[in-house]
Amino acid sequence: MDDTEPFTTKDAKWIMSEFNETLSNTNLSGGVIHQTMRKVLDSINLFRETKIDRKDIKIFLKTYVGDKPRRGKRYKSMWDLTIITKWAESTYDAKDIRIPQRRALILTMIFGALSPAELERMRRETTIFKDNIILTHERTKTCGGEAIKVIINKHPNPRIDAVAALQCWMVCTKTTFQKEHVWFDIEVGRRANLQRIKEELVAVLSENGIPDTLTTHSIRHAVITHLARQQDADWKAINAYARWAPGS
């Protein structure tokens, strides 16, 4: 295809739609895919004598990628975090081995303000129980790859205590699975990847009637929203707790 042919030719559309389909088969969000496609289209303009009209770009994105998700649309409403803590209390003595892991996962996520990816990166050797706290190290996208400390304090209610839940789970799996990992795909007896961790968390949300329009990341959003609604909320403290960049 000649470089100077209009972008709206059949061949050009086919190439870009194939690229979009490849992106859609990844774990990228719709917003990331939309922005990636837009950047690719803008980059093409840098090397073409016949520029792509902005209107053509918008038509292509709408036709082959879909409308760009609006900022904040997914989280225009937020479920009450106590739904999960009440579930944790009610499943405190559960015998099903899947439940202790789900309790440890979601309580660690809540009281550590961790993302699913940060949960997946947890390892036994860097998860330390000391003086009624959990001390672990995480590499987050906002800290330039540098490992930072994540401290989770013991909760006065033992039924929703992330420290006790995680410690119990790690003791339970110490001789059963590979020692370096914290979370496991129990069905197949191996470490849990990010997708499996998300599935375990979604199972808890679904069991408690939380709409499937809210993803695992909404747990972290619910935690931050809960903190922000507290009287005299200190935004600097919330930023530090969430490990967000200053001014976020």
What is the CB-side half-sphere exposure of residue 18 using CA atoms within 13 A? 6
pLDDT score of 231: 59
User: Per-residue pLDDT for the chain (248 aa), expressed as one digit of tens each?
Assistant: 444 454 444 555 566 666 666 666 666 666 677 777 777 777 666 555 556 666 666 666 666 556 554 444 444 556 788 899 999 999 999 888 899 999 999 999 999 888 888 898 888 888 888 776 777 665 555 445 556 778 888 999 999 999 999 998 988 887 776 668 899 998 888 889 999 999 999 999 999 998 877 888 888 888 888 887 775 677 777 777 777 766 66
Which of these, 95, 125, 91, lies nearest to 106 by C-alpha position? 91
pLDDT score of 99: 94
What is the CB-side half-sphere exposure of residue 231 using CA atoms within 13 A? 0
CATH superfamily name and code, 82-242? Intergrase catalytic core (1.10.443.10)
**What is the distance of C-alpha 59 from the center of its chain?**
31
> Whole-angstrom Cα distance, residue 142 to residue 208?
32
pLDDT score of 35: 73
> Whole-angstrom Cα distance, residue 71 to residue 11?
33
pLDDT score of 11: 53
pLDDT score of 156: 93
Asked if residue 68 lies in contact with residue 61, where contact means CB atoms within 8 angstroms, the answer is: yes
> Whole-angstrom Cα distance, residue 139 to residue 196?
20
* Residue ranges per structural domain of the chain: 10-65, 82-242
